[in-house]
A and B are shown apart, each in its own frame.
Chain A
């Protein structure tokens, strides 16, 4: 087993990075993959609560890096999927407790243990972000169809280009098809045209995501949820399957064009 290391990043805070990590992880694990999630947001840890594992934390990522525990001891097993693990962030430390080479070393140790390592990057483009992208084979940039989120995503994509991280793909989160139809929200096509990178998923706005976070059960576990379906589709695309994008706007030919644009890149 040699895990693919995937970092989920965004630039702007609050666009749904952590929920995206939790949901993709759950979807990959439900498909039988062995997944280790790493919370890279030291000082502001949240992946544990979104995954419902906050009561099981003993050791964290800084304990591993500083040698206070073994890697295995900091891997918290998920309640629903025995092959899904979380390495939580430290809550009482800051981003400078970890260096990019620490992250690379940690991920190299994890690679033989899993199929996928998912790193939840903190917001911003400083140290925590640099730590999170250092070991990445692939970076997924999450944005919302909204001016500040798109602008920040563009900055992140620019930095990744400069770092020669070649495999970068976009997740458009919280798209509201009704607002798009009223021309009061950027469409997925608009966002792709602006950012000029490959698309890997479009997640519709869905109350279920909040309900899932409230319960600590990611919405990807809900077979009926549309957002859950979108996350499951992203997981399939990560594994290399070709999955058509959700038809959120049946009346227009827009989605056909998005499929083409996405396929073209």
Chain B
């Protein structure tokens, strides 16, 4: 949420958002660059089997209490099946 005055984010909010990211990377020992590589490879592997909408893929690390999870939302493209006979 933005502040009504000046449109700048209040500092506590920046602190929380930045910490959320830093803690996830500290806890998983996974750097932002490694996460990007992981995402790219995942997309490649999945694309080999199904047709996916690569631009809409969402892969993210989330935390719930003290546990981390890798959450992926991968939209599949509809395949127009050839009608039989």
Contacts and interface: CB of A to CB of B under 8 A. Distances in A.
Interface of A: 146-147, 150-151, 154-155, 157-158, 161, 180, 182-187, 190, 193-197
A186 B65 contact: no
Interface string B61-74: 00111100000000
B42 interface: no
B42 to A, nearest CB: 26
Interface residues of B, number: 18
Nearest to A153: B23
Contacts of A154: 23, 26-27
Given A151-B26, A158-B27, A183-B11, A196 B19 contact: no
A196 B65 contact: yes
Contacts of A197: 66
A190 B65 CA distance: 12
Interface in B10-32: 10-13, 15-16, 18-20, 22-23, 26-27
B13 A183 contact: yes
Nearest to A193: B16
Nearest to A146: B15
Contacts, number: 49
B10 A157 contact: no
Q: Give 9 nearest A-B pairs by CB, closest first.
A: A183-B10, A196-B65, A196-B66, A183-B12, A184-B11, A190-B16, A154-B23, A147-B15, A186-B15
A194 B19 contact: yes
A158 B25 CA distance: 13
A194 B16 contact: yes
A187 B12 contact: yes
Interface of B: 3, 10-13, 15-16, 18-20, 22-23, 26-27, 63-66
Residue in A183, A187, A190 whose Cβ sees the most chain B Cβ within 10 Å: A183
Nearest to A182: B10
19 contacts: A147-B15, A147-B18, A150-B23, A151-B23, A154-B26, A180-B12, A183-B3, A183-B12, A184-B10, A184-B11, A185-B12, A186-B12, A187-B12, A190-B15, A194-B16, A194-B20, A195-B66, A196-B65, A197-B66
Contact of B19 (A147, A161, A180, A185): A147
A165 to B, nearest CB: 13
Nearest to A184: B11
A157 B63 CA distance: 15
B84 to A, nearest CB: 54
Given A146-B15, A183-B3, 14 more contacts: A150-B23, A151-B19, A151-B22, A154-B23, A154-B27, A158-B27, A183-B12, A186-B15, A186-B16, A190-B12, A194-B16, A194-B19, A196-B63, A196-B64
A155 B26 contact: yes
Contacts of B13: 183
Contacts of B10: 182-184
A150 B19 contact: yes
Given A161-B66, A196-B66, A184 B12 contact: yes
Nearest to B3: A183
